[in-house]
Chains A and B, each alone.
Chain A
Amino acid sequence: GENVEQHPSTLSVQEGDSAVIKCTYSDSASNYFPWYKQELGKGPQLIIDIRSNVGEKKDQRIAVTLNKTAKHFSLHITETQPEDSAVYFCAACSEGNNNDMRFGAGTRLTVKP
């Protein structure tokens, strides 16, 4: 089955700096890669996702890149703000697999003002 690894487990940056979180996956059939943000006491919220037919997707300060050959994908947050502080999860899923999504272990991002 799919195995998703996520690094780093914790990340601390200064406000305004960029943050990068990386994930690798094992199942070459995976073709859907969402990123979720979980704030304290809340459920995970989708912030961006990418499908395997594209290599990059951007939404304002957030971007995701995908390298299918190397089986890794990354989340990039530019101009970080204190409200970006949260736990971020990557996930991977393949078509025809009943939407069985496998999550990374999470990255706790702290943005210092």
Chain B
Amino acid sequence: DTAVSQTPKYLVTQMGNDKSIKCEQNLGHDTMYWYKQDSKKFLKIMFSYNNKELIINETVPNRFSPKSPDKAHLNLHINSLELGDSAVYFCASSLGTSGMRVETQYFGPGTRLLVL
């Protein structure tokens, strides 16, 4: 009964390849997020979607494209992978952003991406 799940857990690939990371939440939340955690453990938001609509898009290279087929899924596709993309990517979800109240974010287990 995992709340926020991600696949794969580990991803090792060559520079220049295209890869996808999948995220699913069964909490009934409306909002989902992608974060990048670098080697120094710093957590930085990349994107967020509310009910399949993009609402936060930080300064992220165009090679990163999120896709939300429905509000329970937010996948991250990365084109032309570079060495600097190596990091841990976390998906998260929260109840929603339509109201004024800030809602707690719940994180997935992470996907460890290594680009060789």
The interface of chain A, by Cβ under 8 A from chain B, is: 31-32, 34, 36, 38, 41-46, 49, 51, 87, 89, 93-103, 105-106, 108
Among the listed A42, A95, A102, which residue makes an inter-chain contact with B101, where contact means beta carbons less than 8 Å apart? A95
Chain B, interface size category, equals: 20 to 34
The interface of chain B, by Cβ under 8 A from chain A, is: 4, 31, 33, 40-45, 48, 50, 55-56, 90, 94, 97, 100-110
Q: Which of A38, A89, A94, A97 has the most CB of B within 10 A?
A: A38
A95–B107 CB distance below 8 A: no
B41–A87 CB distance below 8 A: yes
Give Cα A102–Cα B103 distance, bound, in whole angstroms: 14
Name the distance in Å between A21's Cβ and chain B's nearest Cβ: 14
Among the listed B40, B55, B90, B107, which residue makes an inter-chain contact with A98, where contact means beta carbons less than 8 Å apart? B55
CB-based A-B contact count at 8 angstroms:
63
**Contact (A46, B104) CB under 8 Å given A99-B94, A100-B45, A105-B41:** yes
Among the listed A46, A89, A94, A95, which residue makes an inter-chain contact with B106, where contact means beta carbons less than 8 Å apart? A46
Give Cα A2–Cα B51 distance, bound, in whole angstroms: 25
Name the distance in Å between B101's Cβ and chain A's nearest Cβ: 6
B102–A94 CB distance below 8 A: yes
20 A-B residue pairs with CB within 8 Å = A31-B102, A34-B104, A42-B109, A42-B110, A43-B90, A43-B109, A44-B43, A46-B104, A49-B104, A95-B100, A98-B55, A98-B56, A98-B97, A99-B33, A99-B94, A99-B103, A101-B45, A102-B45, A103-B44, A105-B42
